Structure 1
């Protein structure tokens, strides 16, 4: 793969608008001089915005899109306007090969629906999954999927998610054999739904795959750094993600309140400020931004709608890394390897 991937940017998506998107692209460009971009959106607005980021002009091409996808727009409505919206045309650039990946901060449901319709799922993958990196106490972040693309999953879906998540971790975390676990209500083998237990049994036998399946993990251990990949259905994953994000905000708000409650507390804050800043940095979602739709015939990265320029740049960095490492090929190879070694009697319906 080229060391200078071309990334299609939905320049009009996100809560913060074009200015933050362009600032994020410019930041990503400064981190990698070889990176190139397709900036998709209103051409006049983009050209005006580029005046404050002259370093982008030589590395960017503008694709005019007369419309945008609204944050509250239904996916079914957005799909009908795929050929005229910045989100739809960014995805189309991946399909046509003009870009190696697309990045959008726009409507998640619309982005998933458009991506799945345009790119289709990879051979052997029934449903795509949304995967993201979450902070942990370990040496690395932890990959978690699915985070909301599929509310209900069967055994085969969970196995596919595990294969895709491990391939993603090998690239994003640079691990040879990521530790993989299934999110469950307990660690005992008898606990959980039939789908989860059956998936665990099959993954335990898949010793030929480049992963170490460790069994089940409970919700209170997500951030302990004990595993590298956590697999679950999208309903459970989205709840777990939102709960973790809410808890992080609660902790930081509680500390802020405590440090301003008295003069003594304010003095204590001055002394402990380096530690407080380290905590804030570790919990800041912008530093872990960039969720990937895995299982499609092309790479699409979802940036958080409220991401700042640091978050947008990190999402672009995720996309570039996946292009360089040819993530889709890795997933295809691992899935074929799993199927080749799967015993006929263990195939699910």
Structure 2
């Protein structure tokens, strides 16, 4: 595979992005890494990494960068030569097979939607985020790609996420839940109620409604929701985990005894941290587009980027998009029959 890496996207770009791409190139020698961005800065970092002779790394120059706080749609329109837009265009032009970016998420979604379009049976793309928990990962879809959802969009999110979980995460029959304010079938607004009915008439392993706390208790492998709610949920979970870790560190320093206790608990704490480490997941797929787009966290380091590239390779290896189209065609047929 040829993977276009947005070398200028992210808080630690281009240093950490290039380090991650170099590590991936050295590990996945049968795949090509295309670094997109300011060629002088990229080449300078390749020299620093001792990677100037790595055969499966190439550079494509892009003169512009989309800032993390810029308006996504405006940036895509006005910065045609930005590293993220050019990376996506390489996929659209079949010069690359996948794109990985830790830059502006909105710009990544906008560029992918504009230049790659959606798969044949997909109405709206969705960001599928694997939230690490003590019971394994729970995938939340959508996490912000589509904030004006219809029931059919949410149903499709369930199908697309199930395909990804089955072929990439090796979960044979992922348990799908619908985010709601209660477990009862009658709860929720009209969007949720209509979506519940649609999901119930598919072949998915639809378990029922999921409350917010259920994301973390191991009841579901996938939780479906509209993008506005999903993004709030994601940011809340991230902020809560950071605050709890900071509070623990502060309390541990209060006395000799608390410092001793923290030291004794260090092996347990490190084990728990490793289970909750988002860098292991690399990035999140934008499901439903006619291509492969992996979006990484803005604070991504080299390890995260290397894992994001691994995820892009797995996405292509298991032909996720082909399976999504097949499963959506079946789901759409079953819904027509049910009606």
Distance in 2 of aligned mates of 1:48 and 1:331: 41
* 1:129-278 equivalences in 2 (<5 Å): 129-138=126-135, 140-207=136-203, 211-278=204-271
Residue 30 of structure 1: how far off its partner (Å)? 4.1
Contact kept? 2:133, 2:276, Cα under 8 Å: no
Q: 1:283 aligns with which of 276, 279, 286?
A: 276
CA contact under 8 A between 1:136 and 1:142: conserved in structure 2? Answer: yes
Task: Give the counterpart of 1:311 among 304, 325, 335.
Answer: 304
Distance in 1 separating the partners of 2:336 and 2:293: 33
Aligned-residue offset at 1:263: 0.4
CA distance in 2, matches of 1:197, 1:106: 35
Alignment partner, residue 125 of structure 1: 122
Who is 2:331 aligned against? 338
**Match for residue 15 of structure 1 among 11, 23, 28:** 11
Quote the residue 1:106 is aligned against: 103
Distance between the aligned counterparts of 2:139 and 2:71, measured in 1? 28
How many residue pairs were aligned? 338
**How far apart in 1 are the matches of 2:338 and 2:115?**
35
Counterparts of 2:327 and 2:73 in 1: how far apart (Å)? 33
2:69 counterpart SS class: coil
Cα-Cα RMSD? 1.6
Unaligned residue ranges in structure 1 (runs of 5+): none
Deviation at 1:29, TM superposition (A): 3.0
Alpha-carbon shift at residue 76 of structure 1 (Å): 2.8
Aligned to 2:159, what secondary structure does the other structure show?
Answer: helix
Alpha-carbon distance, 1:289 to partner:
3.4
Q: Do the aligned partners of 2:8 and 2:14 also contact (CA within 8 Å) in 1?
A: yes
Q: Does the aligned pair in 2 maintain the 1:21–1:312 contact within 8 Å?
A: yes
**Alpha-carbon deviation of 1:311?**
1.6
What is the CA distance between 1:264 and its match in structure 2?
A: 0.8
C-alpha separation between the residues in 2 aligned to 1:280 and 1:202? 38
Query: Does the residue aligned with 1:134 lie in a helix, a strand or coil?
Result: strand
Alpha carbons 1:126, 1:157 under 8 Å: kept: yes
TM-score, normalised relative to structure 2: 0.95
Counterpart residue number, 1:301: 294
Matches within 5 A, 1:48-127: 48-55=44-51, 57-81=54-78, 83-127=80-124
Q: Secondary structure of the equivalent of 2:29?
A: coil
How many Å separate the matches in 2 of 1:204 and 1:284?
33
Whether contact under 8 Å (2:168, 2:318) holds in the other structure is: no
Unaligned runs of 5+ in 2: none
Give the Cα–Cα distance (whole angstroms) in 1 for the partners of residues 186 and 45 of structure 2: 58
Q: 2:159 and 2:233 mapped to 1: Cα distance?
A: 21
TM-score after normalising by structure 1: 0.92
Q: Is the 8 A contact 1:252 1:280 kept in 2?
A: no
Deviation at 1:23, TM superposition (A): 1.2
